[in-house]
Structure 1
Amino acid sequence: MRMLAGALAIGLAWAAPCGAAEVPTFQVDATWPKALPNDWIMGQAAGVAVDAQDHVWVIQRPRTLTDDERAASLDPPRSKCCKPAPPVLEFDQAGTLLRSWGGPGAGYDWPGNEHGIQIDPKGFVWIAGNGPEDGQLLKFTADGRFVMQIGRSGPQTDSRDTARLGKPANVDFDGGANEVYVADGYYNHRIIVFDSETGAFKRMWGAYGTPPTDGALPPYDPSAAPARQFANPVHCVKIARDGLVYVCDRTNDRIQVFAKDGTFVREFFVARNTRANGSVWELALWPDAAETFLLNADGANNEVRTLLRATGETVGAFGRNGRNAGQFHWVHNLAVDSRGNVFTTEVDTGKRAQKFLVQGSFVLRKRTP
């Protein structure tokens, strides 16, 4: 029991004073998720989302499994376990697998490297990819029926091309306007917006709201003047209820904030001395009425931070580099359910999803769909 308590304590957050405001803290749920059925195993987990029922969706990369990890699927099998799980996995709050699907099929180009999953306000599942020739977004029903593809796979073009993407990382939605915003991406240097029903191009922009360009940027230097263009990757986009659009400029260690038309509002730097592969990998909005906080996954420093949304100030954090419950290796994505619980996924050799339970007075009442 003492050992279990120690393992769980790894997930506790520190919380800095924040004037009169309190800051949420979190504790890892080491039992989540439950073991996958069918001797399945998860590869690099490259995206996580929470839907209106508080179900948790993970997209993972079966092709990243080593022969040792997928030994039971080889011909002949080399050992009793394991076999690659399907790319798309839907879990309930207890960590039970509810549904699984995904992979190549008729009528669409499945990504060469799965990257990012989001659920739109109508319940459709959107998938991105950052493989060498990935330039497409895919839209499916919750049970995996193909609906629409925006863009196409093939040789990469540039950030002026509105007919395809450039290794898109992730998306978010303006349900009222039927728009999908794309963090584009690992090849291009822009935010691009499409009609989420028809796939028609609407608008796009680069850093500071300027037209996107593709010139090579020098290696990141925290003492240099801020780069005037997004670096690769443009790794996430999140839209707040007040209309502000938050963009992860990952390797520039910053969040840029825009109006929905691309007008630049402000920028925040986060862990600005991070020279590795960037500090701003993913963002999630805190689910209170004011969306008071931004949660920030940082796969270089391997922690999740709580930021004040108004100022970008770091007021809390949890995690560190490691393999134990509550620790991370390349924490890549995060999502928050309606009660304030946090879900994370890890790539490289992390290859897992974790759940962190919000503590005390910050447990929110479940929203109604």
Structure 2
Amino acid sequence: VYAGDVNELYDDPPNLQIAGYLGPVNDLSMVDRQAMTDNEKSPRFARPEQLAIVSDDQGFYEVQDVKFSGSVEEVTLIGDVNTQSSPTLYHRPARASLRRGDRVSIRLLLLFLCILFQAGCNGNAPQLTFSETVQWPVPTEGLKVPAPRSLNVGPDDELYVLDNAGRVLVYNAENQLVRQWEMPDYEIGKPEGICLLKNGQIAVADTHYHRVVFFDQQGKVLKYLGELGEGPGQFIYPVSVVQDPAGNIYVSEYGDNDRVQKFSEQGDFLLEFGSVGTAPGEFQRAAGMIWHDGKIYISDAVNNRIQVFSDDGQFLEVLGTKTGGLPLYYPYDIAIDHHQNQLYIVEYGAGRITKTDLSGRILGVYGKTGMNQGEFLTPWGLTVNSKDQVYVADTGNRLIVKLIP
């Protein structure tokens, strides 16, 4: 039995049995400290997104077995003859890269150490306040309550919601469901990104079918863009769609093909930028995006940052570099308000929203991981309407949350 804060349970559980209630966890007491690149600060437990298993010719362990379960890679390691340590560990790599026989070392991610030992890198940031919070679930599907994943607001403040049942849901400004439809296919996986285009069409990143689907306002399929592949106009896992004022469409993707592709309004390929990696201009799970003033702001989830490019694909900066750094924990989506050009970033790993100016200076934070009001559980998406009201896809809690200033 555990009584306490869910956030503490996730990041600092009292024992292995209780830790397992919230998913895969690494028991670092089973790891030889010689294998850790920062062994003096190692905690007892680490979640998959808090740890990296990296190739290292001088590494202490050898990979014995590797298998994927969703986005989590399970790696069984074996030490030399002088150690009894053969742990099985879990991490979230951008792509499958480890093979049996590889030598590896184990690294705790810097942001996790910061959160664990300094009570959160932005723990002293001002707290955002809202006058009212409204929340509601999406419609049931049989006995199941699906979860919202992606949100986008139209010019009349209609809210477009994509859920993990493969449905598009449209709500009016009074939060009433006015229409809905299903994706043409969703048996092998559900879509992850939705965008209302200038011409009134709805573009959906149909992630596991390697394409973008275009609908009219009543849910009729108008056309498809893309197919499986790594070439121009092809996708592995497309996750976000955004449009600029000229009508050009940008699609981000991940899956050993992490990049952004730019298309004309008619769907003609124009250019691409980015690749898999950790260097500036590279991505590990490129996710939600916005266009603003000739720039594309892109959530680089696994690298815990927002990257900024010109809309012709030139890397400009990592957001916050000029203001002392912007600590983020798995940022999945980003939005901009309509009056002050301020950014809202939703953090899947931290269960919170971080608000910044266009330079990345933190203006405030809201929320933490949990299941109570003012808390979020693995939120995936957010958007802002014309009144600067913020909608959050509180995916783990299976709620749409509306935050009214």
Pair in the same fold by TM > 0.5: yes
Higher RCO, 1 or 2 (CA under 8 Å, sep at least 6)? 1
1:172 matched residue in structure 2: 242
**Aligned partners of 1:300, 1:46: CA distance in 2, in Å?**
15
Provide, for residues 132-186 of structure 1, a one-character-per-residue CA deviation record: whole Å limited to 9, x for no partner: xx3100111111011111112x5xx33xx1131120111110132x210111234
Could you say which residue in structure 2 is the equivalent of 1:337? Answer: 385
Alignment pair present for 1:286 and 2:337: yes
Partner of 1:163: 233
Indicate whether 1:357 and 2:404 are aligned: yes
Match of 1:94 in 2: 174
Task: Determine which structure has more spread, i.e. the larger CA radius of gyration.
Answer: 2
CA 344–273 in structure 1, closer or farther in 2 if over 3 Å, else same: closer
The separation in 2 between residues aligned to 1:261 and 1:111, in whole angstroms, is: 34
Distance in 2 between the 1:38 and 1:165 partners? 29
Equivalent of residue 235 in structure 1, options 269, 274, 287: 287
The amino acid that maps onto 2:213 is L
2-structure distance, mates of 1:246, 1:167: 19
Q: Deviations over 1:196-221 (max 9, x none)?
A: 22x11011111xxxxx3x4xx5xxxx
Q: Which position in structure 2 is the counterpart of 1:185?
A: 254
Supply the AA of the counterpart residue of 2:171. Answer: F
Deviation at 1:307, TM superposition (A): 0.6
How big is the shift at 1:24? 6.6
CA 1:322–1:340 in structure 2 vs 1: closer, same or farther (change >3 Å)? Answer: same
Name which of 145, 149, 159 aligns with 2:224: 149
Distance 2:146 2:297 in 1: 29
Residue 158 of structure 2, aligned match among 28, 31, 55: 55
SS at match of 2:302: helix
Amino acid at match of 1:296: I
Check 1:162–1:35 CA distance in 2 against 1; reply closer, same or farther (3 A cut). Answer: closer
Note the 1:1-369 alignment, pairs <5 A.
25-30=129-134, 32-33=135-136, 36=139, 42-62=145-165, 87-104=167-184, 112-131=189-208, 134-152=209-227, 154=228, 157-158=229-230, 161-176=231-246, 178-197=247-266, 199-206=267-274, 212=275, 214=276, 217=277, 227-228=279-280, 230-240=282-292, 242-268=293-319, 278-288=329-339, 291=341, 293-309=342-358, 311-347=359-395, 349-358=396-405
CA separation of 1:204/1:37 partners in 2, compared to 1, >3 Å: closer, same or farther?
A: closer
Equivalents in 1 of 2:125, 2:326: separation in Å?
Answer: 19
Residue 337 of structure 1: CA displacement?
Answer: 0.2
TM superposition shift of 1:91: 0.8
Letter in 2 for 1:354: V
From the superposition, tell whether residues 340 and 96 of structure 1 become closer, same or farther in structure 2 (CA, over 3 Å).
Answer: same
Question: C-alpha root-mean-square deviation of aligned residues, in Å?
Answer: 2.7
Q: Secondary structure at the match of 1:29?
A: strand
TM-score (norm 1): 0.69
CA gap 1:279/1:163 in 2 versus in 1, 3 angstroms: closer
1-side partners of 2:315 and 2:334: how far apart?
A: 18
Superposed CA deviations along residues 262-305 of structure 1, whole A, max 9, x for unmatched, are 1222212598666xxx43211101111x51x1100001000001
TM value normalised by structure 2: 0.63
The residue type equivalent to 1:344 in the other structure is V
- Does the residue aligned with 1:262 lie in a helix, a strand or coil? coil
Unaligned 5+ segments in structure 1 are 1-13, 18-22, 63-85, 207-211, 218-225, 359-369
d(CA) in 1 for partners of 2:125, 2:281: 32
The Cα of 1:117 is off from its aligned counterpart by 0.8
Structure 2 counterpart SS, 1:95: coil
State the Cα deviation string for residues 309-330 of structure 1 (Å, max 9, x = none).
1x20111011111112331000
Partner Cα separation in structure 2 for residue 110 and residue 237 of structure 1: 26
Cα shift at 1:88: 0.8
In the alignment, structure 2 segments of 5+ residues that lack a partner are 1-122
